[in-house]
Amino acid sequence: MTRLEIMEDTMEKYGVNELRKMFLDFFESKDHLKMKSFSLVPHNDKSLLLINSGMAPLKPYFTGQEIPPRRRVTTCQKCIRTGDIENIGKTARHGTFFEMLGNFSFGDYFKTEAIHWSWEFLTEVVGLDADRLYPSIYLDDDEAFDIWNKEIGIAPERIFRFGKEDNFWEHGSGPCGPCSEIYYDRGEKYGCGKPTCTVGCDCDRYMEIWNNVFSQFDNDGKGNYSELKQKNIDTGMGLERLASVVQDVDSIFDVDTIFDLRSRVCELASVEYEKDYKTDVSIRIITDHIRSATFMISDGIMPSNEGRGYVLRRLIRRAARHGRLLGIEGTFLAKLSQTVIDGSKDGYPELEEKKDMILTVLTEEENKFNKTIDQGINILNDMQAEMEKSGEKILSGDKAFKLYDTYGFPIDLTKEILEEKGYSIDEDGFNQAMKVQKDNARNRRAKTNYMGADATVYEQIDTSLTTEFVGYDSLTAKSSITALTTETELTQAIAEGDKGTIIVSETPFYGTMGGQEGDKGVITAGDSVFEVKDTIHLLGGKVGHIGLVTKGMFKLGDEVMLSVDKSNRLATCKNHSATHLLQKALRQVVGTHVEQAGSFVDKDHLRFDFTPFKALTQEEIEKIESIVNEKIAENLIVDTQIMTIDEARKTGAMALFNEKYGEKVRVVSMGDFSKEFCGGTHVSNTGDIRLFKIISESGVAAGVRRIDALTGDGVIRYYNNLENTLKEAAKAVKSDSSNLLDRINGILDEVKSLKSENESLKSKLANNSLGDVASEFKEVSGFNFLAKEIESVDMNGLRNLSDDLKTKKECCVIVLASTDGGKVNLIVVADDTAVKNGAHAGNIIKAIAPLVGGGGGGRPNMAQAGGKNPAGIKDALEKAATLL
C-alpha cells in the first residue's frame, strides 16, 4: 500500500501534490501570478551556489533591478540547503532538498494581507486546528502584534516575541526587515519534556512551518535603518513540513511521497524501518540525498570536483556509502531515482523529460564511487601497514586529506576503518588541510567578474532603461543613445580614442547569449565612428555595445546609425544553425539521453558540449556528419515562431537546461527535422550552411564531451590547409601526394631493416671482443673476478655479454659498465657457485652505483643500475674488487 492509500483508510488528509496545488490556487485567487519553480542553478547570481529559498531567484524583482511580470507572485520553489546536511536523518524537519511554498509582494500588499492570508490558508483551506498554531514576531514589531492580536484574535500570551537572530531577516547591507513565523504544536509526544519547553524550543514539538518576512528597511551597511519606499513581502513555508503536520506523521520522511521512497529504500536494502536508530538514519539520509541528486541532475548539474558539481558528487557518494552500510550490493541509486521521478513528475515535468539522463548520470557516478572505494581501501591498507611498521597510532591529517581529496575517499569511512583496527586520524590536521584548499577555491572564485566587464559600471545605469532587439530581419537600425559609459563610469560623452559602452533603445546587434557570440560592427553619428568589438546583455533587458571611438565623438541623446558586420553575422548564423542539426543528429545516433551541456558559436567555428559519458566512435562521428550534411543538402526551411512556453513544450521542441525562459519563447525549426527553443540568429535555409565537418571530439570535464566543427567557408579553408600540409609532406620526402603513403611505408621499411642491421652489427662487435674480455678474469679473494667498461653498448648488450662471460669461468663475479648517450649502465652478475660462496651482486651494485651518480639494487646473482656520471666509471669498477 502507498502512504496515501493507508491514509485514506484512516482519515481525510491531503497529499504533498495536493497541498502544493492548494497553496498555489489559493494565492492565485488572491491575484497572484503563479510561476513555475526556477532552476536550482541561480541565474546571474554569483553569490549563491544553489537556490535555497523561494525568494532567491526573485532577488532582481526585490531590489528593483528587474521589473516583475506582476507585483504579486506565488511559487513552489525547489530548494537545496547543504548547510543542513548534518541534520539530515537526525531531526524530523530537515532535508537537503525540499520544496518551499511562497507568496511574494513587490511593493504591493504588506503585513496585514500577508498575515491574514497565511492564517486563512492554514486554518480554513487546510483546516489546521487554530489552537495548535502560535505566531512569533520580532521584538518591537507592534504593528504585527496588533494584526495578530486585534484582527486575527490571537491572545497576547500566545504571540511570542523573538530577537534578531530568529526574527529579523538581514543579509549584509540592503533590504531587510522583521519576520513573523508560525509554529505548530505537534503535541507532547514530540516534546523534550523540559519545563521550559515552549514555542522556540529546539526539540521537535513546536515546529516552524511558515515564515513571513516583511522587508521594510534599508540597511546602509553601517547599522542605520531607513524605511524603504517599496515594501516587500517574502514568505516561505516548507511543503514537506506542512504535509507532515497535516498528515499528522512523525517527520517529513513519513509524508506520502517521501514515505513511498523510504519504503523503496527499505525494500532494496531488505531492512525494516524503526527497528534500529542507526539504520533509520542511513535510510533517511539515502531517502533525502537521492531526492536532491535527482532534482539537481534534472537541472543540468553534473558531478564534478567543484562548486555545484561537487555538492552533487558529495550527496550521491554519501547516499551510496550509506547504501553500503545497509548492505546493499551493486548499484541502486537509479532504481530509487525512478521512484522520485514517478512521485514528483506531475509538479516537475522536467524529471520525466530528463529521465534517461538522470538515471545514466547516477549509475555512472555510483560505479565510479564503488571503484573509488575499492581503490581507497587499498591505499589505506598501505598507509596502515606503514603505520604498523613505524608504530604510529595516528594517521596524519595530510594523508587523510590526500585520501579524501585525491582519491575521493570519504573521511568518515577512513575514520571508521582505522578505528576498527585501533587507529585514529589527526582531525585538526585534516581540517587545516581542508581549510587551505577551500581558501584557495574561494580566492579563485572571487576573481571572476561580471560578464567579462567590471560590473559596477553597469550597475550605475538607470534600471528602467531597456533595449529592443530588432536584428533578426535587419542588420541596420536607427536609434538614439540612452546611456553611455567609459570603462569605469557613466558619462555624458566619449571622444576619439575612448573605450566605452553605448546603450541605445533599439539595436540590430545581437548580444552574446545562449552560446552565440555577440555581433561586431559600427555605430555612426554623422562623421563620428564607434567600432563595436563586442555586444553583451546587461541586467534589466539592456544591450551594451562595447568598443572604441575611432573618429569624432558621441553624446547622450545622439541619433545614431547602427550597422552589424554582415559577413561576421552570416558566418555565425551558419554555425548556429548547424549546431541545431548536430544536436538532433547526435540524439538520433547516440540516443535521447544525450543532453546539451553548453555550446559556443562565432564566425569561425562551433563547439557543442554534451553529456553521453562515452567517447563517440569514429563510425558514430561519420554517421552524425553525414546526417547533418544530408539535412543541409535538403534545403530545409528555417522557421521561427514565438509562442507560450506551454505551447512550445507541446510541439516537442527541445529546451535547454538551466535556462530561465519567460512566458513567451522563440522556437526555431528546421523542416521537420529539428525544433529547439532558441533566441539566436539563423540562416533562412539549411542549404545556406553549405558544408559541415567535425574537426574533433574530446573530453573536457567529468562526463562532458565536446565536438568542434566547421561550416561553409570554414570547411573549405580546413581542407585547403590539409591539402597544403599534404603537399609539403610529400615534398619533404621527395614524392607527390598521390604516392605519399607508399613512399612513407617504403621509408618505414627501410628504417626497420637499418635498425636490425645495426643491432646485429653491435652484437657481433660485442662477441668479437668477448674472447679478449674473457682473458681478463683475475683471481680476487677466491673469486674469478672481471670488471670492465665496454664501449657503446646499451643495457641489453651488457646483459647478453655478461651472460656469455658467466659461462667461461666457474665461481665468477662480473662487473660491466658502458656509456650510452651520456647515461651510464652498470651490471653485476655472479654465478651460482660464487653466490654460494658469499658473493652478492645486489650489494655490490648498491655500493658502487652512487659513484656513477645513480642508485640501484638487485638479487644476489644479478643486479643492474643506471647513472648520470660517466666520469665515475673507473672508480666504480675499482671499488667493486674491494667488496668481495
- Residues found near ligand ATP in the complex (CB under 6 A): 81, 84, 93-95, 98, 100, 208-211, 236-238, 240-241
Which residues fall within 8 angstroms of residue 840, CB to CB, at 6 or more apart?
830, 860
Q: How far is CA 475 from its chain centroid?
A: 37
Cβ of residue 236: shortest distance to ligand ATP, in angstroms?
3
Cβ of residue 48: shortest distance to ligand ATP, in angstroms?
14
Residue that has been written with the C-alpha cell 536523518 in this structure: 89
Cβ of residue 276: shortest distance to ligand ATP, in angstroms?
24
- Residue 332's SS3 state is coil
Nearer to ligand ATP, 255 or 811 (CB): 255
Q: Side-chain half-sphere of 659: how many Cα atoms within 13 Å?
A: 21
Q: How far is CA 108 from its chain centroid?
A: 38
Cβ of residue 328: shortest distance to ligand ATP, in angstroms?
25
Nearer to ligand ATP, 81 or 705 (CB): 81
* Pair 154, 189: CB distance under 8 Å: no
Nearer to ligand ATP, 148 or 162 (CB): 162
Nearer to ligand ATP, 241 or 675 (CB): 241
Which residues fall within 8 angstroms of residue 603, CB to CB, at 6 or more apart?
517, 567, 568, 571, 572, 575
Which residues fall within 8 angstroms of residue 368, CB to CB, at 6 or more apart?
none
Q: How far is CA 566 from its chain centroid?
A: 36
Cβ of residue 312: shortest distance to ligand ATP, in angstroms?
17
Measured between alpha carbons, how far is residue 298 from residues 301, 340, 638 in Å? 7, 12, 29
Cβ of residue 331: shortest distance to ligand ATP, in angstroms?
27
* Pair 601, 579: CB distance under 8 Å: yes
Name the grid cell of 258.
517521501
Nearer to ligand ATP, 287 or 674 (CB): 287
Cβ of residue 212: shortest distance to ligand ATP, in angstroms?
10
Cβ of residue 54: shortest distance to ligand ATP, in angstroms?
8
Nearer to ligand ATP, 94 or 580 (CB): 94
Cβ of residue 26: shortest distance to ligand ATP, in angstroms?
17
Nearer to ligand ATP, 319 or 841 (CB): 319
Nearer to ligand ATP, 169 or 369 (CB): 169
Backbone angles phi, psi at 406, to 5 degrees: -80, -40
Nearest-angstrom CA–CA distance, 60 and 414: 44
Distant-in-sequence contacts of 217-224, Cβ < 8 A, 24+ apart = 217/175, 217/176, 217/177, 218/174, 218/175, 218/176, 219/170, 219/172, 219/173, 219/174, 219/175, 219/176, 220/173, 221/172, 221/173
Cβ of residue 411: shortest distance to ligand ATP, in angstroms?
23
Amino acid at 302: M
Cβ of residue 493: shortest distance to ligand ATP, in angstroms?
48
Nearer to ligand ATP, 76 or 624 (CB): 76
Nearest-angstrom CA–CA distance, 571 and 10: 67
Nearer to ligand ATP, 237 or 573 (CB): 237
Residue nearest to ligand ATP (CB): 238
* Pair 105, 72: CB distance under 8 Å: yes
Nearer to ligand ATP, 184 or 657 (CB): 184
* Pair 50, 308: CB distance under 8 Å: yes
